[in-house]
Amino acid sequence: MSTASSTQSSGNPRTAISQAFSKAIVATLGEEFASADPLIRNTANPELGDFQCNAAMGLAKRVGQVPRDLAQSLIEAVELDELAEPLEVAGPGFINIRLKSATIADGLGSMDNPQLGIQASDDARPIVIDLCGVNVAKQMHVGHLRSTIIGDSLARVLERTGRTVLRENHLGDWGLPIAMVLFQLRANGTDLDALTLTELDAAYRAGQASAKGDARGLEAAHARHSGPHRIAELEAQQSGADEARAAAGETLVKLQQGDPELVRDWNKLIDVTMQAVYEALDLLNVEMGPDNNRGESFYRDKLQPVIDYFESESLCREDDGALVVDFKDRKRPLLIRKRDGGFLYATSDLAAIKHRTQETGADRCIYVVDARQRDHFRDVFDAARQASWGNTPDGAEVDMVHVPFGSILGPDKKPLKTRSGTNLTLASLLAEAIDRGTQEVAKRAENPSAPTHDLDETAIGAIGRAVGIGAIKYADLSNDLVRDYVFDMDRMIAFEGDTGPYLQYAHARICSLLEKGNQADLDSASLQLAAPAERQLALVLLRYAEVVADVADSLEPHRLCGYLHEVADSFSSFYQACPVLKAEDESLIRSRLRLCDLVRRVLGDGLGLLGIEAPSRM
């Protein structure tokens, strides 16, 4: 499903050029070519023009014409006199297009508004984004980082295009594992009112260990006639595991029946877990709270109706006591109920899709979950479509999307862990990032000429936090999501290169420049774009709304990261080539300050869409 059509870029001349050449192609070759792509591209060499139309070569082959001749015919048919200088054919049939300076200035003027040229969608249906996905009684680890910040960034982008977005944290807060923890804590007489997440995490691991038997090992020991001591050891282990699982099962039944004391204690586990989660989300500048939690417990009463519906509509079959859904294009079926009557993740996910599409009316359901779950979501989505949940009640087709992502790796190219080999907690990772960011900012503040030199420790710490967290988030979001990447704090925290701090510093640098310029009513300044560097910077700025629409459509935030880095680089080139405060006259100073202000706003807005703060001083 494309959102680009409802979120067109405002003020970008490339759109007008594309439309004009589409009309010229039809006028030259006929209506049967109405869908032909005019192939408008940026020129590699600005000296040749601002854009190229590359359609003539491919079209000429289809109609048996000489490409240069067809290109000339398109030039004669296209109506661009008001926007561009006279067009010319180059090479085998490229059409070079150079915009008039007034066209670029008009485009900048039209995007110089609070929306920065982004036109809001009029689609009132909500979009659901499934993100974060923490488990109750367990600490957040680095694996939760990607789902959380990717999902939050996509939500921000979609909201920026005018859509209503429902962030949903699908908590793992129900079932036998939680019952095991409850039983373990109650059996130990733990004071749940004084419980810490560290103690809760330990109880989770202890509960899992106590229920882990070795039935296969015991069977093999009997078959091999192992010694009596070994068999007795395995029998004791298996017996203990059976007892632990049975006790946890009884606890779960009581919890399902609404036992008041168990429900109270269960809520305490959730509170302890989520307090730590909210602290991490606050550090990450992620917009999520209690209202975004909709865990497995929410769907517990909706699972059997899903099974009943699939059975009543003959959408599943029995397989050795279990229920499965078949697909025409693959051999593996989807298991939706176990032979013992138990439900699975697939059952819960189907219940969630039904709720999100049929009750909430969402026409886009986005799941930000690691790449290993690709086959699972393909099956679940197809099963939901078989159940007719692929359309909203008002008939809109639902776009179900799995946004897969890779792993965060350590220097050894293996999943990132602590030096002792244990899973790295998210809290410790964020603490390190904030510490490193604060060190870098404090070191720069020692310079008497630094804008931060007069700031106190609290202010330095706030900027350091923004830099450290921004470094981690940008390093993650700037990668192609599905690819693994190596966590390198030294590279991430650098103020140079393709990093978050580089973009933040560019923003702060412009803030300082504007403060020194001390100009009011810059939006009334006439834009003069004679110098090549300022012209190039303006053309980059004009693409902002188009890039945001593209990310909303593709769900690939690295495209926004790449664009913002291009903006910062173009500004650096402009600043070196074009004096701002020492320009030739007052009108040129104001023109360039207005251009700088637009860059500042685009950088600040774009960083905000990534969930990254944009300090005014660094």
**Per-position DSSP letters for 259-319, written without gaps between them:** -HHHHHHHHHHHHHHHHHHHHHHHHTT----GGGB--GGGGTTTHHHHHHHHHHTT--EEE
Give pLDDT tens digits for 536-558. Answer: 999 999 999 999 999 999 999 99
Mean pLDDT of 84-104: 95
pLDDT exceeds cutoff 70 at 218: no
Sign of torsion over alpha carbons 219, 178, 403, 308: positive
For position 180, what pLDDT does the model report? 87
For position 565, what pLDDT does the model report? 98
Is the fold of 126-173+293-408 the same as that of 426-609? no
Backbone angles phi, psi at 154, to 5 degrees: -60, -40
For position 4, what pLDDT does the model report? 37
- pTM of the predicted structure, to 2 decimals: 0.89
Question: Hey, what CATH class is 126-173+293-408 in?
Answer: alpha beta
Give Rg (Cα) of the chain.
30
What DSSP element (H or E) covers 94?
strand 94-97
pLDDT exceeds cutoff 60 at 2: no
What six digits make up the tokens of 359? 């009750």
Residue that is written with structure tokens 């008001």 in the block: 82
CA 496, CA 493: separation in Å to the nearest integer? 9
What dihedral angle (degrees, nearest 10) is formed by the CA atoms of 294, 431, 154, 547? 170
For position 221, what pLDDT does the model report? 53
For position 177, what pLDDT does the model report? 84
Give pLDDT tens digits for 324-363. Answer: 999 999 999 999 999 988 899 999 999 999 999 999 999 9
pLDDT exceeds cutoff 50 at 400: yes
pLDDT exceeds cutoff 50 at 20: yes
**400 three-class SS:** strand
Between strands 94-97 and 126-131, the pairing is: unpaired
Give pLDDT tens digits for 120-170. Answer: 999 999 999 999 999 888 888 887 899 999 999 999 999 999 999 999 999
Q: Which residue has the higher pLDDT, 266 or 232?
A: 266
**Which residues have C-beta within 8 Å of that of residue 443, sequence separation ≥ 6?**
none
Give pLDDT tens digits for 439-454. Answer: 999 999 999 999 999 9
CA 311, CA 215: separation in Å to the nearest integer? 34
Of 153, 129, 116, 142, which is closest to residue 500 (Cα–Cα)? Answer: 153
Contact at 8 Å (CB) between 514 and 520? no
**Which residues have C-beta within 8 Å of that of residue 243, sequence separation ≥ 6?**
none
Task: Give the CATH superfamily of 4-99.
Answer: Arginyl tRNA synthetase N-terminal domain (3.30.1360.70)
Distance of alpha carbon 375 from the chain centroid: 20
**15 three-class SS:** helix
CA 353, CA 428: separation in Å to the nearest integer? 34
For position 599, what pLDDT does the model report? 98
pLDDT above 90: percentage of residues in the chain: 77
CA 116, CA 249: separation in Å to the nearest integer? 57
Give pLDDT tens digits for 463-520. Answer: 999 999 999 999 999 999 999 999 999 999 999 999 999 999 999 999 999 999 998 8
The mean predicted confidence, pLDDT, of the chain is 91
Q: Which residue has the higher pLDDT, 65 or 247?
A: 65
For position 421, what pLDDT does the model report? 62
Mean pLDDT of 252-280: 91
For position 236, what pLDDT does the model report? 56
CA 593, CA 603: separation in Å to the nearest integer? 15
**Residue 174 buriedness (CB in 10 A; 0-12 / 13-18 / 19+):** buried
Vertex 325: Cα angle to 216 and 304 (nearest 5): 85
Q: Cβ–Cβ contacts within 10 Å for residue 201, how many?
A: 18
Task: Give the CATH superfamily of 426-609.
Answer: Isoleucyl-tRNA Synthetase; Domain 1 (1.10.730.10)
Contacts of 17-25 spanning 24+ positions with Cβ under 8 A: 17/51, 17/53, 17/80, 17/83, 17/84, 17/97, 20/78, 20/79, 20/80, 20/83, 21/53, 21/55, 21/74, 21/78, 23/77, 23/78, 23/79, 24/74, 24/77, 24/78, 24/79, 25/55, 25/59, 25/74
Of 142, 126, 181, which is closest to residue 363 (Cα–Cα)? Answer: 126
Concatenated DSSP letters of 110-133: HH-STTTTBPPP---SEEEEEE--
**Residue 489 buriedness (CB in 10 A; 0-12 / 13-18 / 19+):** middle
Contact at 8 Å (CB) between 266 and 295? no
pLDDT exceeds cutoff 90 at 415: no
Q: Cβ–Cβ contacts within 10 Å for residue 600, how many?
A: 21
Of 51, 50, 156, which is closest to residue 473 (Cα–Cα)? Answer: 156
Mean pLDDT of 309-316: 97
pLDDT exceeds cutoff 80 at 224: no
What six digits make up the tokens of 505? 């510093």
DSSP state of 173: -
Q: Which residue has the higher pLDDT, 33 or 185?
A: 33
Mean pLDDT of 281-290: 93
For position 229, what pLDDT does the model report? 60
Vertex 578: Cα angle to 575 and 584 (nearest 5): 140
**Partners of 399 in beta bridges:** 364
CA 208, CA 135: separation in Å to the nearest integer? 14
For position 312, what pLDDT does the model report? 97
**From residue 388, how far is each of 358, 385, 391, 395 by CA, in Å?**
10, 5, 7, 11
pLDDT exceeds cutoff 80 at 234: no
Domains of the chain, by residue range, sit at: 4-99, 126-173+293-408, 176-257, 426-609
Q: Which residue has the higher pLDDT, 233 or 65?
A: 65
Q: Which residue has the higher pLDDT, 6 or 206?
A: 206
